[in-house]
Structure 1
């Protein structure tokens, strides 16, 4: 491309379009962003007409009515409705060349009555199916984690209630601790069985840490509860009998005429030889 040809292609003030772009020689135009593209076959005063193209899929032909200036991506959407083939699984071939979804029909010469071939991309279809199954598994895992989170929230309230009772000096039945720990362990087993990736995996990890924290809290409260029971038992066994013993000793002193503790009282007279 020589210098003179480049100069001929540059837009000038006389042929700029109202949108800020400009027309250049050789069937090219400059878009408002400065990009040089092939000139479209219409202007602002031109009425865009529809065309009918024949799309071959396998041994079946489909007549599709579409705008002459539509993109191949829009054509894929219409073909998907007629054939049931997903747009991502389609390969559109025109004049023995695969066309990009962003390309326009008129820019490559598609006219009324043109024949186009659509081929199903097996690799793309398989990849999309795998991706769809993966997303379905992640959605299922996310719902399962949400259910476990709700259950853990309910158990957390019970743990908090037990902590309040123990802090208030009230002894809790040991089976309550064992029951809550068992329920929390079941939630851990459920979480361990969930296969997850990405954000869902992070959600699972957060719930695992929560459950472990509540189990540790219950173990600590269980020890405090046991100590609280031993303290009450000590007060019952030792403190009350000690006070009764002191009372009996005082009564004995009165009976013995005020003898001090430790004095010896001789009650037997031995013969003197």
Structure 2
């Protein structure tokens, strides 16, 4: 390398059909990877990435505005210092041509990525659907039991309303069974439609329990009426004779 008037001469090197310029000792060599090509450029270590883009532009013909320079996998801003981010002699950077068409392509790719669920998201969705299905099935099983108890409540109502006394234990049994159904419903972890159906069944059971309380009170009144009739004194018939002492003969 020949020096003239204190300046350092430079020589050209070609790598991957791209001609670059070698510089003197005050400059560091940076390896640039661009598509299938790679080449070296030389610049001052105190330069910024904006300065580096201008150097790359001389070698590639790419306007700095359409250059994206990545160092250690991160896109660097124009005002960032090479030295401050750790660029040294023989460091490697990646050059990407960021033309308007390619920007649109990149944006489209990002939109597709955002709108397309990942495998983890798909698995989460499947698990959520399974969980909702399990909750709804559990509610349906309890509903079948409630249907049976509701039929018994209706039968009990028919008997009591006809004026026939029913054993108190029948009311106690049905009330206890319905309360157990409430506990079952409360223990079901349901979402979506399952949660809606669970609320409906809870209200239904509460209504049946209230009806049983009313029927039980009515049944108790039937018992009192029978007892009152049994306690009433028998009146003497018109054919009975009353003696002087007031006795019925």
Give the TM-score taking structure 1 as reference length: 0.45
Higher relative contact order (CA 8 A, sep 6+): 2
